[in-house]
Each structure stands twice: as structure tokens, then as C-alpha cells.
């Protein structure tokens, strides 16, 4: 028996096929990533300016979030009363609160 007539082991053939398939998937993945990932030279860096109003709003949000004034149980109770038609609405108080909010917002609420 000569070397050129020896058939390869089926296991080694399967391993080679698996390795070839893996290499092909890695090459394809690298090609896709290269196409979708911008290079640093391709990305324009633009300066970002945050307005004073945006800074004030962010500060207000931080204050409200940290003061613990939100009461989920109260919100749930009021929601239930509204759905059942039992929640009393004081139109004058509501209008006053809207006016206060408009005054607090100042120019932010106007276009």
C-alpha cells in the first residue's frame, strides 16, 4: 500500500471542513464589520453646545427626582377615582396652577 492510496480518516475530513467553515464565517464577519464600522477618519466630530435653558431644565429634573415628592400610592388612588368618576375637579384651582406653571417656565413655554 502506498501513501497516495491511503484515504483520509473521516474524522479528520470533518474537522477540516468545520475549520474551513469557521474561517469563512470569521472572514465574512470581519468584512461586514469593516463595512459597517466607521473609521475614525470617516467620523465628523461636531462641537455640542448645551443652552442655559437646557441646563436649567436638567437641574430641575435632578432636584425633582431626588426630593422624594413622588407618591405612587397617591397617583394610583387618584387614577382609580378618575376612572370611577369620583375625583372632584376644582376648575379655579386647576387654572391657578396652570398659570403658576406658565410663570415658572417663563420663556421656555412660549414659542
Domains of the chain, residue spans: 7-36, 70-111
pLDDT in the model for residue 2: 52
Backbone angles phi, psi at 7, to 5 degrees: -85, 140
- Give the largest Cα separation in the chain, rounded: 106
Cα of 4 vs its chain's centroid, Å:
61
pLDDT one digit per residue (tens) for the chain, 111 residues: 455 555 555 566 667 777 787 788 888 877 767 666 556 566 677 888 888 888 888 888 877 776 667 788 998 999 999 899 898 889 999 999 999 998 888 877 566
- Class of residue 96 by CB neighbours under 10 A (exposed 0-12, middle 13-18, buried 19+): exposed
pLDDT in the model for residue 36: 62
pLDDT in the model for residue 93: 94
Its pTM stands at 0.28
pLDDT in the model for residue 39: 62
pLDDT in the model for residue 53: 87
Amino acid at each position: 500500500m502506498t501513501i497516495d492510496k491511503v484515504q483520509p480518516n473521516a474524522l479528520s475530513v470533518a474537522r477540516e471542513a468545520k475549520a474551513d467553515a469557521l474561517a469563512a464565517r470569521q472572514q465574512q464577519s470581519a468584512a461586514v464589520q469593516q463595512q459597517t464600522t466607521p473609521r475614525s477618519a470617516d467620523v465628523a466630530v461636531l462641537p455640542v453646545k448645551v443652552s442655559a435653558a437646557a441646563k436649567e431644565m436638567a437641574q430641575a429634573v435632578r432636584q425633582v427626582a431626588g426630593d422624594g415628592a413622588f407618591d405612587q400610592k397617591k397617583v394610583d388612588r387618584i387614577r382609580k377615582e378618575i376612572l370611577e368618576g369620583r375625583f372632584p375637579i376644582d376648575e379655579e384651582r386647576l387654572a391657578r396652577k396652570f398659570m403658576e406653571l406658565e410663570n415658572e417656565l417663563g420663556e421656555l413655554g412660549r414659542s
